[in-house]
Amino acid sequence: MEERNVDVAIIGSGTAGLNAMGQARRADKSFVLINGGEPGTTCARVGCMPSKAMIQIAEDYHRRMHLGRYGVAGHEDLTLDVPQALEHVQDLRDTFVDRVLSNSTDDMPADLFIQGYARLLEPTLVEVAGQRIRARAVVIATGSRPLVPEPWRAFGDRVITTDEVFELEALPTAMAVIGLGTIGLELGQSLSRLGVQITGFDQLTSIAGISDPEVNQCAIDLMGREFTIRLGEPARIEAEGDQLRVTAGEHSVLVDKVLCSIGRVPRVDGLGLEVLGLPLDARGLPPVDHHSMQVGDLPVFIAGDISGDRPLLHEAGDEGKIAGYNAARIDQTPTRFRRKTPLFINFCDPNICAIGLRWEQLDPATTAVGQVKFAPVGRALIMGKNRGLLRVYADQASGRLLGGEMIGPKGEHLAHLLCWCIEQGLTVGDLLRMPFYHPVIEEALQSALYDLYAKVNTKNSGGLTELAPLSD
């Protein structure tokens, strides 16, 4: 079999792979982009975009429960055409996928965009679709797949993952959600609001990846008002007629389907990573420098969800850019880039967010904590969304903002504000010199900052920024 030579071979055409391709193009390097399976990013096809479409429908429909408070008559008679709602989700999903493809691979010639599953024969020799490609550098961005324990596969389509949930044309009467991380919690709440009897299970005692114990308890209390949540015990599944019985500890429920959302694993099957000659971890991955994305000292780079470091679209994009940049300059020492401030957003209602350092990463002896409950926040009360808790962390000595966790209305926006401020290295005093309008949700952040400001050592000279004295 003849070998074809290119500068960069990119395995995987998701967010990370497409960004790596962009870097190779910008550096005017020859490349091939290899895709196994359905094209289109995880986000667009089975991840953040279709889930947000379902969340929006569920949230709008659930809003009818508040209309009676405002004197809106007839809200009790509102109904939902579930098949039409699910079709709308699928239509939007297809639109998102088409946009990704039309902006990236639709017009690429077959010699640049190869459909097929790749295998490494050597660190820089790739076999795919009956051909061999010799590259000066390789970027591996094959993504991840939902984890389903092997015994559960015997239940067939009664156990589904995020790969199948958006293909449903009708909803079951009762469903168990096993795994209450980001996607499990988002879909569990949405499906409950769409009329499915939901029971959520997680062997952890926290939900949505929250590490702050106060925020976690608040989240459990709020989410538990909408559907049953069972924590702290592993779940097991048994067939019972045409249904499934899910049991965790002393709790048991009979359901029609199970949504398995216990995590994702890197797509490494058949990839041949053993030829890299480096030790592979329990996930089947070699060691990776997450600032250069380089594997050991090889001309090989790993980027995106396969790395498991920060499985989020914006992080996958950054990793793809880093990997592509270095792969296109393989004759140089790889550049190590500073990673951005971590930002995590769960789009359940209220939003659950984490920014910067997590609670578990803080030193209690040197950290100050400020907080505010959303119950008395005027704008939240007006919207009928005054539920939740915001906690912010700062270095006690310098007042520099370190991070925060929250569950609250419009949390996605508060989280961005905090993230940008942490990225700029601002102090609590710096933030309190910013303008805060009234009445807005941001006033909740202002209150938490005032609480935090009282606990840090470094203070401003005054509440406002002083002007320089006028000259004579």
pLDDT digits 0-9 by tens, 139-188: 999 999 999 999 999 999 999 998 899 999 999 999 999 999 999 999 99
pLDDT digits 0-9 by tens, 55-84: 999 999 999 988 888 899 998 899 999 999
Rounded to whole angstroms, the Cα distance separating 403 from 395 reads 10
* CATH pick for 150-262 out of 3.50.50.60, 3.40.50.1000, 1.10.3720.10, 3.40.640.10: 3.50.50.60
CA distances from 377 to 171, 386, 439, 445 (A): 37, 7, 9, 10
Residues near 388 by beta carbon (within 8 Å), at least 6 away in sequence: 218, 222, 350, 373, 374, 406, 407, 408, 409, 411
Share of the chain above pLDDT 70, in %: 97
pTM: 0.93
DSSP-assigned beta bridge partners for residue 247: 236, 252
Asked whether the predicted pLDDT for residue 309 surpasses 90, the reply is no
Rounded to whole angstroms, the Cα distance separating 157 from 379 reads 44
CATH 3.30.390.30 in the chain is located at: 343-453
DSSP, res 400: B
Collapsing DSSP to helix, strand or coil, 342 comes out as coil
* CATH pick for 3-145+265-327 out of 3.40.50.970, 3.50.50.60, 1.10.10.10, 3.90.1260.10: 3.50.50.60
Q: According to the model, what pLDDT value does residue 470 have?
A: 62
* Count of CA atoms in the C-beta half-sphere (13 A) of 55: 19
Q: According to the model, what pLDDT value does residue 472 have?
A: 54
* CATH pick for 343-453 out of 3.30.390.30, 1.10.3720.10, 3.40.1190.20, 3.40.50.720: 3.30.390.30
- The answer to whether 50 touches 86, Cβ cutoff 8 Å, is no
pLDDT digits 0-9 by tens, 430-449: 999 999 999 999 999 999 99
Longest Cα–Cα distance in the chain = 92
Q: Are strands 300-302 and 264-266 parallel, antiparallel or unpaired?
A: unpaired
CATH 3.50.50.60 in the chain is located at: 3-145+265-327, 150-262
Read off the tokens for 155. Answer: 């239940």
Residues near 8 by beta carbon (within 8 Å), at least 6 away in sequence: 20, 24, 29, 30, 31, 32, 135, 136, 137, 138, 139, 324, 327, 328
* Count of CA atoms in the C-beta half-sphere (13 A) of 460: 16
Q: According to the model, what pLDDT value does residue 465 have?
A: 65
